[in-house]
Structure 1
Amino acid sequence: MLSLLNSFRIVALLEGVSYILLLFIATPIKRFAHDDTYVKIFGMPHGLLFLAYIVLAIMVGKELKWKTRTLFTVLIASIIPFGTFYIEKKYLKNKAL
């Protein structure tokens, strides 16, 4: 069974990948080729992963007793391209619940 931290790591990775795909593949195709198919394909999964990331970040933050500043940094990382990858390296790599 997956721990809360491992679940968060997986969701963070998937959220980061979906955000990159949405920003750097789907959006340019929509703008330059006038085809919004890929935005529709990647948009909903990214939205669900984003919400899961936020909820799990708060839950993990409580478990690991993060300071408010750390939790804020983790939450802000979800809206910055490649931010979730930074969080994995900086805050989650050597943690265990």
Structure 2
Amino acid sequence: MWKSTIGILRMIGIIEGISYLVLLFIAMPLKYFAGLPSYVYVVGMAHGVLFVMFLLALLVVWINRRWSFLRVVGAFIASLLPFGTFVLDARLRKEM
């Protein structure tokens, strides 16, 4: 999976998607229902770093694979939606 730019994008996307779901479904309830805001800080920081890595990997794929602007925008929008990176991964798997 790490042998191509799309493989790297897929791997970062999966990890970023998992961090997003952990933030939404574990850290946020712990903050509001258990009074533990530190989990949101830690998971949120990790998610932010992974999101920036995803954007950089997307930029590399855009340049190397000469993706259209519309496709890059679609991948970016997928990264903003819960479960979006997993849908993107399924589509990228076909391309590999």
Q: If the length of structure 2 is used for normalisation, what is the TM-score?
A: 0.89
Quote how far apart the aligned CAs of 1:59 are: 1.1
Output the CA distance in 2 between the equivalents of 1:93 and 1:2: 13
Q: Which amino acid aligns with 1:52?
A: M
- What amino acid is the match of 1:12? G
Distance 2:94 2:64 in 1: 15
Consecutive unaligned residues in structure 1, runs of 5 or more:
none
User: 1:9-53 CA deviation, whole Å, 9 max, x = no partner?
Assistant: 110000000000001110111011111121122111111000000
Q: Which residue number in structure 1 is paired with residue 4 of structure 2? A: 3
Q: Which residue of 1 aligns with 2:63?
A: 62
Q: Counterparts of 2:47 and 2:3 in 1: how far apart (Å)? A: 21
C-alpha distance in structure 1 between counterparts of 2:89 and 2:62, whole Å:
13
State how many pairs are aligned: 95
Mapping 1:3-42, distance limit 5 Å: 3-42=4-43
Counterpart CA distance in 2 for 1:83 and 1:61 is: 18
Q: What corresponds to 1:76 in structure 2?
A: 77
Between the aligned partners of 2:34 and 2:26, the Cα distance in structure 1 is: 11
Unaligned runs of 5+ in 2: none
Dislocated runs of 4+, deviation >4 Å? none
Stretch moving more, 1-10 or 40-49: 1-10
Identity %: 36
Structure 2 CA distance for aligned equivalents of residues 82 and 33 of structure 1: 25
Aligned partner of 1:88 in structure 2 is 89
Distance, in Å, in 1 between the alignment partners of 2:65 and 2:94 is 12
How large is the Cα RMSD of the aligned pairs? 1.4
Shift of 1:62: 2.1
